[in-house]
Amino acid sequence: MLLPQEVIRVKRNGDALTKEQIQYFVDGITNGKFNDAQVGSMAMAIFQRGMNTDEIVHFTQAMMRSGTVLSWPELDKPVVDKHSTGGVGDKVSFMLAAIVSSCGAYVPMIAGRGLGHTGGTVDKLEAIKGFNTQPSIPEFKTLVKELGMAIIGQTSNLAPADKRLYGIRDITATVESIPLITASILSKKLASGLDALTMDVKVGNGAMMHDLESATALAQSIANVANGAGVKTQAIITDMNQILGDSAGNALEIVETVDYLTGKYREPRLHKVVVRLAQSMLFNTGLATNDEQALTMINQALDSGRAAEKFSVMIARMGGPNDLLENPWQSMSKANVVHDLIAPESGFIAAMETRKLGMTIVEMGGGRTGNEQAIDHSVGFDKVQPVGTKVDRGDVIARIHGKDQQQVALASKQYLAALEFSDSQQEFLPEVYRVID
């Protein structure tokens, strides 16, 4: 019997859903026959009971077919995208789209909003006054064809079932589920008409996957489903045991992106992750024959200023300012209060509880606790000192950006509580753990 509560019961009891039942659930998400409580219940049942490979494939394909599926017959170069499972301070998409499109690929990037403690690419772009994250599909295709890149939010036309499910997962503690993550990511990516995809699967205390085993399982799930669907996919497992780059927070991460692309400052760990993912994208599209050639292409795109110009033109064409590179704060709101956070003792920063720092930003208003909540794009952290840094008591280890003194005082306390100090140098964590084809 196809009733919402009966289909939920099947998965709640740990049984496999049929293709028909999965299609009914996805149709119910799209047409509203499953209400929010029922969608949340099914998400929790999947979270608790899991799905087998056939279920994930059917689920992904049903989500993909819930809306428009793009194709790019008019483009003469490969179409590629990158997706991250999310982290704190992860602004890599901006750099990658600019670099890889400067090397000859087309990058139609359909991005998401913040999920749980992680920041969202779309939320960061909306920190820029005037930027339109929701152009029509014809406008999106024109931008990609003319610029080589465009980053937009999920539209009502592309995988609309996932758009609704994504928002419900965010507020029902059902984010960290391999079937849900796989279907969410790939429904959008397969609907984008890609030739190749690079997955950045984060692992660590600031990631959805906390250990290498679960991260590998997710990476393998995504690679299996995507390659099986005809999209050449490589998954790269990267570290999220600390904030990526030296900032976390929507407007602050746009500023760091500008600094990175213009060469003003490239935080070393962030740069290594960007380069490794860009190499994957260039190699898997056939634009580079090996990693060494890809690295040369990446350096040329950055050093020539082509990547920075690509990003600047995209911002302007999508409603933002013409001078973002020169005056990033001209089109974004600054926090009312900026506070230097001082090291309470001398030693080494030994560890960072990254998820707690992400949730601190959410509490400050930089993320959502409800579906329709407005975001304060100005709050967050910058000048973040990475794990392994030697500090003396009184050194600045981060800056807190908040709306008032009370908020900044609480965030400062929470930031320090998320750090661990040591008298001795700790072993540095790798940026990249594993590559899965």
Active site residue 169: yes
In angstroms, rounded to a whole number, what is the distance separating the alpha carbons of residues 130 and 259? 21
Active site residue 189: yes
Active site residue 41: no
- Homologous superfamily (CATH) of 333-422 is Pyrimidine nucleoside phosphorylase-like, C-terminal domain (3.90.1170.30)
Catalytic choice (189, 269, 355, 401): 189
Catalytic choice (124, 169, 269, 276): 169
Catalytic choice (41, 155, 177, 184): 184
CA dihedral 162, 155, 256, 173 (to 10 degrees): -20
Catalytic choice (91, 113, 188, 269): 188
CATH topology of domain 80-155+174-328: Pyrimidine Nucleoside Phosphorylase; Chain A, domain 2 (3.40.1030)
Active site residue 121: yes
Residue extents of the structural domains in the chain: 4-50, 80-155+174-328, 333-422
Catalytic choice (58, 65, 83, 202): 83
In angstroms, rounded to a whole number, what is the distance separating the alpha carbons of residues 252 and 226? 33
Find out whether 119 and 92 touch, Cβ atoms under 8 Å. no
CA dihedral 387, 252, 83, 103 (to 10 degrees): -100
| Per-residue confidence (pLDDT) for residue 385, from 0 to 100 | 97
Find out whether 337 and 95 touch, Cβ atoms under 8 Å. no
Q: Which amino acid, residue 66?
A: S
Active site residue 272: no
In angstroms, rounded to a whole number, what is the distance separating the alpha carbons of residues 362 and 390? 29
Q: Which CATH number fits domain 4-50: 1.20.970.10, 1.10.3720.10, 1.10.645.10, 3.40.50.720?
A: 1.20.970.10
Catalytic choice (11, 82, 124, 276): 82
| Per-residue confidence (pLDDT) for residue 227, from 0 to 100 | 87
Beta bridge partner(s), residue 11: none
Active site residue 81: yes
Active site residue 124: no
HEC per residue, 238-249 = EECCCCCCCEEC
pLDDT per residue of the chain (437 residues) written in tens, 0 to 9: 799 999 999 999 999 999 999 999 999 999 999 999 999 999 999 999 999 988 998 999 999 999 999 999 999 999 999 999 889 999 999 999 999 999 999 999 988 777 667 778 999 999 999 999 999 989 999 999 999 999 998 777 888 999 899 889 988 999 888 899 899 989 988 899 999 999 999 999 999 889 999 999 999 999 988 988 889 999 999 999 999 999 999 999 999 999 999 999 999 999 999 999 999 999 999 999 999 999 999 999 999 999 999 999 999 999 999 999 999 999 999 999 999 999 999 999 999 999 999 999 999 999 877 666 789 999 999 999 999 999 999 999 999 999 999 999 999 999 999 999 999 987 888 999 999 98
In angstroms, rounded to a whole number, what is the distance separating the alpha carbons of residues 107 and 102? 10
Structure tokens at 259: 């600094």
Find all residues with CB under 8 Å of 381, minimum gap 6, and list them: 243, 247, 248, 249, 252, 357, 361, 398, 399, 400, 401, 415
Find out whether 133 and 315 touch, Cβ atoms under 8 Å. no
Catalytic choice (11, 81, 269, 331): 81
In angstroms, rounded to a whole number, what is the distance separating the alpha carbons of residues 49 and 45? 6
Q: Report in angstroms the alpha-carbon separations of 142 from 71, 98, 112, 169, 315.
A: 13, 17, 21, 32, 15
| Per-residue confidence (pLDDT) for residue 371, from 0 to 100 | 62
Catalytic choice (30, 84, 101, 312): 84
In angstroms, rounded to a whole number, what is the distance separating the alpha carbons of residues 277 and 100? 10
The model's pTM = 0.89
Active site residue 84: yes
In angstroms, rounded to a whole number, what is the distance separating the alpha carbons of residues 170 and 172? 6
